[in-house]
Amino acid sequence: MNLEQAVALAPSMKDFYDEDITVLVFSLDQVIVAINHENLDLRIQNGEATSKYEKLVTMQCMREKKRLVVRMPIAKSQFGISYIAIANPLWMNGNLQGAMTVVISDQRYDELKKVGTDLSELVRSSYSASEELSASSEELAATARTMESGTSVAKDGLEKINRISQDIRRISTQTSILGLNASIEAARAGDKGRGFAVVADEVRKLSEGAKQSALAISEDITEVNDTVSNLIEHIKQLAIVSENQAMDVIELTKSLGEIAMMAENLVSHGEFNS
């Protein structure tokens, strides 16, 4: 853009912003256009010598011959107000003609920076909590898998005990048959087999007692086995849910990390050289 175009465009610059602005167009030696908004009044007038404003961003832009975006704090401002100045050099056929500057309030940028800072702190806190939750979820999933393995071993043990109980019942049945046969043989022997008959009767009683105990153990084992089977199924579901939760939390942590970066970028956009 050259000086003539900047002068023509200056009155319309307010239409490009949704906030109050002051517009300045400087040639190399004088102020060509100064449209001061009442809320951003730099008290610069048309026709003034540019040398009067050596510390102005517009003059710095012309000296450095490059676009500048500078935040001017009130402590350094010669106009008694803080502001943000966006200055662009003006060229004609490769020769510097002057500079055009748009001055805007820094209040919005302060608000933007504060929002970004608050958001960054909130996300950082959420990110830490998410990481802890992720670790807890993974630990819970690992514990659930260990419990599943342990209960499976317990179920195998119950099945072994059940088989032993069945063996006891089978042995007791065989022992009962042997006791019955012994009683028959004792009866045939008459008085000589009386003592053997007593022993055979006790063997039958012992066999019947063992059989009843084995049946009771078998029923208890069946009940416990059913309970353990249900527990295993619930633990499997817990492991699946825990693993899914851990994956979801990992994704959440990743998303929070991305939001944290966005918040930091938002803060950086509120930073300006002064």
Instruction: Tell me what pLDDT residue 233 has.
Output: 76
Q: Which CATH class is domain 111-269?
A: mainly alpha
pLDDT of residue 71: 84
**Nearby residues of 216 by Cβ (< 8 Å), 6 or more positions away:** none
The backbone torsions φ and ψ at residue 206, rounded to the nearest 5 degrees and listed phi first, read: -65, -40
Residue 271 has pLDDT above 60, yes or no: no
Cα 159 from chain centroid?
44
Region 48-62: what's the mean pLDDT? 92
Average pLDDT for residues 100-110, to the nearest whole number? Answer: 80
Of 89-93, 97-101, 251-255, the least confident: 251-255
Q: Which two tokens stand for residue 207?
A: 């066999």
Residue of 128 and 39 predicted with greater confidence: 39
Whether the pLDDT of residue 214 is over 50: the answer is yes
Give the SS3 label for residue 197: helix
Q: Answer for the pair 60, 47: CB distance below 8 angstroms, yes or no.
A: no
DSSP 273: B
Amino acid at 203: V
CATH number, domain 3-105: 3.30.450.40
User: In the prediction, which pLDDT does 66 show?
Assistant: 95
Write a three-state SS string for 30-94.
EEEEEECCHHHCCCCCCCCEHHHHCCCHHHHHHHHCCCEEEEECCCCCCCCCCEEEEEEEEEECC
Residue 135 has pLDDT above 90, yes or no: no
With a CB cutoff of 8 Å and minimum separation 6, the contacts of 135 are: none
Distance (Å) of CA 260 to CA 115, 130, 133, 196, 246: 12, 13, 18, 91, 21
Question: pLDDT confidence of 7, banded at 50, 70, 90?
Answer: very high
**What is the pTM (predicted TM-score) of this model?**
0.46
Question: Using CA atoms, how far apart are residues 21 and 35, in angstroms rounded to an integer?
Answer: 9
At residue 197, the pLDDT reads 63
Dihedral Cα 190, 192, 198, 201, nearest 10 deg: -50
Q: Is the pLDDT of residue 89 over 70?
A: yes
Q: What is the pLDDT of residues 256-265, one digit of tens each?
A: 667 667 666 6
As a whole number, the mean pLDDT across the chain is 76
Provide the 8-state DSSP code for 14.
Answer: G
Domain ranges of the chain: 3-105, 111-269
143-197 pLDDT, tens per residue? 767 766 666 666 676 677 667 767 666 776 766 666 667 667 667 666 655 565 6
pLDDT band at 245 (very low <50, low <70, confident <90, very high): low
Q: Which of 22-26, 51-55, 173-177, 223-227 has the lowest mean pLDDT?
A: 173-177
Q: Quick check: 274 pLDDT over 50?
A: no
DSSP, collapsed to helix, strand or coil, labels residue 238 as helix
CA distance 67 to 57: 10
